[in-house]
Amino acid sequence: MDLQYTPKQQAFRAEVRAWMAAHVPKQRLKSYDTAEGFEEHRGWERVLNSGRFGMVTWPESLGGRGADLIEWLIFEEEYYRAGAPGRVNQNGIFLLGPTLMEYGTAEQKARFLPRMAAGDDIWAQGWSEPGAGSDMAAIRTKAIRDGKHYVINGQKTWSTRAVFADWCFGLFRTDPESSRHHGMSFILVPLDTPGITRRPIPQLDGEPGFAELFFDDVRVPVENRLGDEGQGWNIAMATAGFERGLMLRSPARFQETAKRLVQLYSRHEARVSPGVRDQVLKAWMDAEAYALNTYMTASRLIAGGKIGQEASLNKIFWSELDRSMHETALSILGARGELLASGVDEADDITRWLKGFLFSLAGPIYAGANEIQRNIIAERLLNLPR
């Protein structure tokens, strides 16, 4: 055990810190769930890529730096410390990217990854359907082979970023006779293909962060399939593992929220009840614990280990931590907490807490509802019967 950064790691941190200081926009970008904000964030992805900071863990040939997971954590720490914009392409870089590297052909990697890193293709995901949420094996949308194409018919929903995105990846039933987790394939679909209708769904904050997607005889070339026909479920599970596991929610994000919570508490300490102190300390401890746990996982993976059920433990922990931190913040803010927009100076921080609170409510639901994660822990880690 050695809990000191090496000189190389310190130098990397200094490089990221300097670069972020020079490049992070001084003004907060508009929400990426608006048309204008989406393009602003695409622009930021291009800036990141120009510094080879789009996805530092990717190989240099794909625009990355071949960074290991500890360096990735350092990068994330500096990213959030600098208050850099959210990653509009997180579905692509964090979820599809690793999946492509594992299951994609050389041609597919060359075709998709550089454009993903550059922000040229922003990705949405297409898992859920009206009848297939937590029970993802109930997917019905069909992709039927017709010569060199699949013809897709059906409907996806809760498709994150799909209102403005360029592509979506998802699971489709390629064997119409199949049921449950058999007979599905993982297919990449350009969202401007004729036959696709997008219906934006406004979220709690009123912005269309996700959409319904209707597929009406949508023709997609067979080479857009990732992995073998019928292998889709296994590939999707690997993607879900990345999502719940390490990449999607790095600890730095929650540590910065905990820091803001400590600062908020300090400003309001005189007027809130004494018990709030313990909630604030709990938030700080849990954010630290999540970071420490991630450093342990990263160290294990670097030594050749595999990510396992900790993906489910992580997902429960960060999502419930995020919700509880925002609840505590709003409770401290009291009557000011309802401010969604205002001209007063203080309002920017309040609005951040409020919007963060609304978003935090989605955490225990997306990426596999926490009830499903608890089933997974109980059945696979504690060996309880199904």
Partner 1 sequence: MKFAFTEDQLLFRDTVRDFLAAECGPAQVREAAAGEGRSPARWAKLVEMGLTGLTVPEDQGGLGLSLVDQVLIAEEAGRAALPEPLVDQIGIAAPLLSAFADRADVAEILEGVAAGTVKIAAGHPLDPFVADAGEADYLLLGREESLHLVPRDRVTLTAETSVDPLRRIAAVDWTAGNDTLLSSDPAMLDRMLDLGGLAAAAQGLGLAQTMVDLAAEYARTRQQFGKAIGSFQAVKHQLATVQVAIEFARAPVYKAAFTLGPRDISHARVAVIDAAASAARTAIQVFGAMGYTYEVDLHFFMKRAWALAGVWGDRHYHLARLSRMVLSDDAALGADGTFADK
Active site residues: 243
Nearest alpha carbon to residue 353 among 335, 330, 332, 331: 330
What's phi and psi for 370, nearest 5 deg?
A: -65, -25
Q: Which run of H or E residues covers position 244?
A: helix 232-244
Q: Is the CB of 73 or the CB of 139 nearer to partner 1?
A: 73
Rounded to a whole number of angstroms, the minimum distance from the CB of residue 365 to partner 1 is: 16
Q: Is the CB of 4 or the CB of 273 nearer to partner 1?
A: 4
Rounded to a whole number of angstroms, the minimum distance from the CB of residue 291 to partner 1 is: 5
Stretch touching partner 1 by CB under 8 A, among 52-60, 203-211, 219-227, 249-257 = 249-257
Choice from 32, 158, 186, 317 touching partner 1 (CB under 8 A): 317
CA-to-CA distance for 261 and 255, rounded, in angstroms?
10
Total interface residues for partner 1 by CB under 8 A: 60
Stretch touching partner 1 by CB under 8 A, among 105-113, 150-158, 280-288, 331-339 = 280-288
267 binds partner 1 (CB under 8 A): no
21 binds partner 1 (CB under 8 A): no
19 binds partner 1 (CB under 8 A): no
103 binds partner 1 (CB under 8 A): no
CA-to-CA distance for 150 and 144, rounded, in angstroms?
5
CA-to-CA distance for 271 and 370, rounded, in angstroms?
35
CA-to-CA distance for 139 and 348, rounded, in angstroms?
41
Nearest alpha carbon to residue 40 among 50, 53, 28, 49: 28
Pair 153, 167: CB distance under 8 Å: no
The residues, ordered by sequence, that sit 6+ positions from 358 with a Cβ below 8 Å of its Cβ are 203, 204, 205
Chain centroid to CA 211: 16
Choice from 40, 45, 76, 212 touching partner 1 (CB under 8 A): 76
Stretch touching partner 1 by CB under 8 A, among 41-49, 176-184, 203-211, 252-260 = 252-260
Q: Is the CB of 231 or the CB of 375 nearer to partner 1?
A: 375
Residue 147 zone, left/alpha/beta (φ > 0; ψ -120 to 50; rest): left
Choice from 151, 330, 358, 378 touching partner 1 (CB under 8 A): 378
Choice from 124, 316, 354, 362 touching partner 1 (CB under 8 A): 316
The SS3 call for residue 34 is: coil
Binding site for partner 1 (CB under 8 A): 1-6, 9, 13, 70, 76-78, 80-81, 251-253, 255-256, 258-259, 262, 265-266, 277-278, 280-281, 284-286, 288-293, 295-296, 298-300, 303, 310, 313, 316-317, 371, 373-375, 377-379, 381-386
